[in-house]
Amino acid sequence: MNGDHELCNERTYPHPVAAVWSAWTTQSALDAWWGPDGFSTTTTRFDLRVGGEWRFTMAHATYGAFPNRVRYLEIEPGVRLQYLHDAGEGSPPERVMRVEVTFQAVEGGTFVRQRTVLASAAEVERVKAFGAVELGRQTFARLAAWLASSL
């Protein structure tokens, strides 16, 4: 992976790997926590397998609705997810993101790292300009809150 084409989110959650993994791989959990503050997520298709897709819409009262598609490339239960993330058919190639999420047991919980590789350094700057770094932090914080209230 190329460092100037990447964004990275990391966080340690005070929960076992199985619980955090389940939050990333169960439709009802994803619908409950996925997305930044103020957004809701509604899944229309969820097929968690290599070659499968997760299709969902993220909606916000002010900013509108945004279709999303995740295409699973690799799944190592409890260890790693790798997928392509875009807006669906017709997404320009430069807007397709390759994402790897890893789950590591650490003392007191689970360390999660999400590495997102974009097509170019210019694309990284474009998404940073609309707040992608902070929005990613908010999404990870929503996962933390959901785990705390659900376990």
Q: Which fold has domain 3-150?
A: Alpha-D-Glucose-1,6-Bisphosphate; Chain A, domain 4 (3.30.530)
Q: Please, which pLDDT band fits residue 69 given cuts at 50, 70 and 90?
A: very high
- Predicted TM-score (pTM) of this structure: 0.95
Q: In angstroms, how far is the first alpha carbon of the chain from the final one? A: 34
List the alpha helices (DSSP H) in 26-131: 27-33, 121-129
> Would you list the domain boundaries of the chain?
3-150
Q: Please, which pLDDT band fits residue 2 given cuts at 50, 70 and 90?
A: low
> CA 27, CA 111: separation in Å to the nearest integer?
21
> CA 69, CA 47: separation in Å to the nearest integer?
11
Looking at residue 75, its pLDDT comes to: 98
Report the Cα 78 to chain-centroid distance in Å: 15
User: Mean of the per-residue pLDDT values for the chain?
Assistant: 96
CB-CB neighbours of 23 under 10 Å: 24
**Left, alpha or beta for 23 (phi > 0: left; psi -120 to 50: alpha)?**
alpha
